[in-house]
């Protein structure tokens, strides 16, 4: 695998950013890291580029000279509609505009399982399944996916849309045994994205090779990504948990508590 020259990761101070930061150095000669939070000192090959995604004029400079953008920055759970719109809808639009104007041709968009969270757990989803957002946050991810599709069809900017399950060092509850994605599998997926001769605008479910799974990535097998980790190693953490109530909304739907929650601002 040839190294990409320069990649930008937004949201680099976040949970996923912290897990993959070091591994990105194997994929690119220059790794530009951006966030509104402190990113510490740059390591070898790293550039620190603080930037607020709502600062539209600053975005062109942020993406300049990058061969690819890993867009992990933004509001990562349910919040006020105003904040989600400002950062996850307007912010992502202006980031894509900056990419278009600066000639960046490849983007990873960190979508979420909450774009499809109102599908039931017994429904096996593919890249062609209809979106069914479970929150204002999920709606913002559907917007990002639609924007990525537009920028591919109209401007030839390729995006890997990753509907991430739960990318944490370990699953936090029984649901995440099905939705967990390891940092290693995320890094391997990014490697496939950077390597693909033609990427297009595929939708991939970001999930490891867990025993229980609701998602089928066979439509995007051309990417050559095969998850290598499994949540099975963490099964003991939840062995003594009480049985799940099959009539609980958080158990019926893939989005779990996001589907069950009332309006964030009530
Ligand atoms: P996180 O909340 O830990 O990290 C997001 C980062 O974005 C934070 O460091 C935050 O400071 C930054 N950010 C927020 N507003 C910003 C702004 N206005 N300008 C610049 N930076 C801003 O989230 P996490 O878990 O690392 O997720 C990263 C991305 O992946 C998010 O887009 C999230 O929606 C998505 N995702 C994550 C999942 C997970 O399991 N960790 C699951 C599904 C999707
Ligand atoms: C997400 O989209 C969130 O960013 C993350 O914090 C988790 O809640 C994850 O989904 C999940 O569904 O487990």
H/E segment holding residue 266: none
Task: Identify the pLDDT of residue 259.
Answer: 98
- Domain assignment present for residue 266? The answer is no
- Tell me how far the alpha carbon of residue 124 lies from the centroid of ligand 1, in angstroms: 26
Ligand nearest to the CA of 206: 1
What pLDDT is stored for residue 198 in this prediction? 97
Domain membership flag for residue 265? no
Protein residue closest via CA to atom 35 of ligand 1: 110
Residue 223 lies in a domain: yes
Using left for φ > 0, alpha for ψ between -120 and 50, and beta otherwise, residue 11 falls in left
- How many whole angstroms from 164 Cα to the centroid of ligand 2? 8
Quick one: tokens of 163? 């509907």
Cα-to-centroid distance, 221 and ligand 2 (Å):
24
Q: How big is the CA angle at 188 (ends 146 and 27), to the nearest 5 degrees? A: 95
Question: Catalytic residue positions?
Answer: 137
Tokens 């964030």 belong to residue = 264
Instruction: Name all residues whose Cβ lies below 6 A of ligand 1.
Output: 11, 13-17, 35-37, 52-54, 72-76, 87, 110, 112, 164, 166-168
Nearest residue (by CA) to ligand 1, atom 4, is 14
Atom of ligand 1 nearest to the CA of 52: 19
Which among 26, 59, 4, 23 is positioned nearest to 196, based on CA atoms? Answer: 4
User: Quick check: is 95 in a domain?
Assistant: yes
Contact yes or no for 136/84 (Cβ under 8 A) = yes
Q: Give residue 2's pLDDT.
A: 85
CB atoms within 10 A of CB 28: 23
Atom of ligand 1 nearest to the CA of 114: 43
pLDDT means per 10 residues, the chain with 266 residues, are 94 98 98 98 98 98 98 98 98 98 98 98 98 98 99 98 99 98 98 98 98 98 98 95 95 98 97
Q: What is 45-109 written as a DSSP string?
A: TEEE----TT-HHHHHHHHTT-SEEEE--S--S---HHHHIIIIIIHHHHHHHHHHHHT--EEEE
User: For the domain that residue 31 is a member of, what is the CATH number?
Assistant: 3.40.50.720
Q: List, edge to edge, every strand of the sheet that includes 106-112.
A: 46-48, 28-33, 4-10, 68-71, 106-112, 158-164, 203-206
Domain range for 222: 4-260
Number of compact structural domains in the chain: 1
- The residue to mutate among 19, 56, 72, having the most atoms of ligand 1 within 8 angstroms of its beta carbon, is 72
pLDDT of residue 258: 98
Task: Choose one of 17, 73, 89 to mutate for the ligand 1 pocket test, by most ligand atoms within 8 angstroms of C-beta.
Answer: 73
Q: Residue 1 has what pLDDT?
A: 72
Domain assignment present for residue 241? The answer is yes
- CA–chain centroid gap for 248, Å, is 27
């Amino acid at each position: 695998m040839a190294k990409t020259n320069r990649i930008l990761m937004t949201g680099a101070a976040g949970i996923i950013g912290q897990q993959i930061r070091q591994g990105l150095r194997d994929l690119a000669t220059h790794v530009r890291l951006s966030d509104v939070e402190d990113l510490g000192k740059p390591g070898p090959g790293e550039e620190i580029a603080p930037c607020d995604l709502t600062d539209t004029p600053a975005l062109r400079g942020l993406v300049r000279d990058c061969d690819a953008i890993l867009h992990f920055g933004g509001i990562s759970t349910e919040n006020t509609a105003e904040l989600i719109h400002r950062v996850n809808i307007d912010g992502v639009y202006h980031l894509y505009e900056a990419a278009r104007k600066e000639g960046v041709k490849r983007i990873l968009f960190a979508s979420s399982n909450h774009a499809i969270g109102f599908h039931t757990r017994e429904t096996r989803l593919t890249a062609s399944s209809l979106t069914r957002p479970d929150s204002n946050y999920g709606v913002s991810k559907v917007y990002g996916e639609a924007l990525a599709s537009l920028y591919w069809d109209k401007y030839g900017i390729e995006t890997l849309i990753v509907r991430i399950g739960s990318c944490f060092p370990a699953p936090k509850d029984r649901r995440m045994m099905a939705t967990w994605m390891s940092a290693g599998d995320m890094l391997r997926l990014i490697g496939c994205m950077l390597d693909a001769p033609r990427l297009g605008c595929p939708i991939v479910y970001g999930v490891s090779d867990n025993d229980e799974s609701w998602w089928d990535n066979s439509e995007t097998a051309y990417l050559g990504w095969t998850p290598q980790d499994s949540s099975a190693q963490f099964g003991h953490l939840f062995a003594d948990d009480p049985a799940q109530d099959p009539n609980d909304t958080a158990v019926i739907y893939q989005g779990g508590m996001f589907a069950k929650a009332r309006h964030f601002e009530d």
